[in-house]
C-alpha cells in the first residue's frame, strides 16, 4: 500500500468500482513519456473532494453511468516535468497532431491549458468523463482528454448537440456536489472551497 499524506485518500476507497485510466503513468499522453511522479495506475484526492466525488458517483450510477478518472492529485514534480517538456524541441508530429494540433508546446501554458501551479497538486482537481453502464463506452464529449483545442472548451460551438448534452450532464453531476468546471477543458473540475488552497504536494502516485 502506498504511503500518502493523511490529508489524502485513494479514489478507489471513496468511489467503489470507479474506472481509473492513468495515461500519465504510461507513454500514451501528450508528452509521449511516462510523467515524473506517476508510478502506477492510481488516483488520489484530498479527503473532502474525494468524498464529494463519491457522492457524484452514487448519483451517476443511479442514472446509468459510471465515472472514469484520467487524473486526480498531480505531484508538483509532474507539473515541473510538463514545463521542462514544453521547452524542448518538437520531436513527434503524430503526438502533436493528436493532442495539440494548432498550438506549440509553450502555447499550452500561455493559453491556459496547462497550469504552472495546478489545483491538481493541491488535491482539489480531477479530470474525468462519464461511461455508459450498458455499453461500457465513454460518452461522446466531442474531443478526447487532453485535446488542447477550442473544441475542448466546455461551451465550444464546434460540437454537436448530443456532445453538448453529454458535457452538460457531467457538469450537472459535478456542480451538484460542489465542483466547478474549468471552462477551457470539459473534463477538468475543481472542488470549492479547496481544503488546502495554499499547499501543493509532491508525493508520488503509486
Q: Which residues are annotated as a binding site for Zn(2+)?
A: 120, 127, 188
Judge whether 175 counts as a catalytic residue. Answer: no
Q: How far is CA 151 from the centre of its chain?
A: 16
64: alpha, beta or left? (left if phi > 0; alpha if psi -120 to 50): left
Q: For 174, phi and psi rounded to 5 degrees?
A: -70, -45
Catalytic residue among 55, 185, 194, 206: 185
Residue 112's CB is within 10 A of a number of other CB atoms, namely 13
Residue 101, preceding peptide bond in cis (omega within 30° of 0): no
The residues pairing with 10 across neighbouring beta strands, listed in sequence order, are 44
CB 149 within 8 A of CB 101: yes
Bridge partners (DSSP) listed for residue 67: 130
Give the rounded distance of the alpha carbon of 19 from its chain centre.
13
Residues 123 and 6: their CA atoms lie apart, in Å, by 12
**Catalytic positions:** 185
Amino acid at each position: 500500500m502506498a504511503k500518502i499524506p493523511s490529508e489524502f485518500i485513494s479514489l478507489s476507497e471513496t468511489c467503489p468500482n470507479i474506472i481509473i485510466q492513468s495515461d500519465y503513468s504510461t507513454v500514451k499522453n501528450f508528452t509521449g513519456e511516462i510523467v515524473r511522479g506517476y508510478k502506477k495506475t492510481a488516483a488520489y484526492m484530498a479527503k473532502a473532494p474525494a468524498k464529494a466525488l463519491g457522492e457524484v458517483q452514487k448519483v451517476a450510477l443511479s442514472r446509468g453511468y459510471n465515472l472514469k478518472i484520467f487524473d486526480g492529485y498531480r505531484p508538483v514534480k509532474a507539473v515541473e516535468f510538463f514545463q521542462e517538456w514544453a521547452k524542448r524541441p518538437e520531436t513527434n508530429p503524430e503526438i502533436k497532431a493528436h493532442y495539440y494540433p494548432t498550438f506549440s508546446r509553450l502555447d499550452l501554458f500561455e493559453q491556459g491549458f496547462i497550469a504552472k501551479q495546478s489545483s491538481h497538486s493541491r488535491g482539489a482537481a480531477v479530470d474525468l468523463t462519464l461511461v455508459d453502464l450498458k455499453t461500457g463506452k465513454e460518452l461522446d464529449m466531442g474531443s478526447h482528454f487532453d485535446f488542447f483545442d477550442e473544441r475542448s472548451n466546455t461551451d465550444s460551438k464546434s460540437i454537436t448537440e448530443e456532445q453538448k448534452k453529454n458535457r452538460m450532464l457531467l457538469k450537472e453531476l459535478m456542480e451538484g456536489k460542489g465542483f466547478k468546471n474549468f471552462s477551457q477543458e470539459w473534463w477538468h473540475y475543481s472542488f470549492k472551497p479547496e481544503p488546502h488552497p495554499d499547499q501543493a504536494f509532491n508525493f508520488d502516485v503509486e
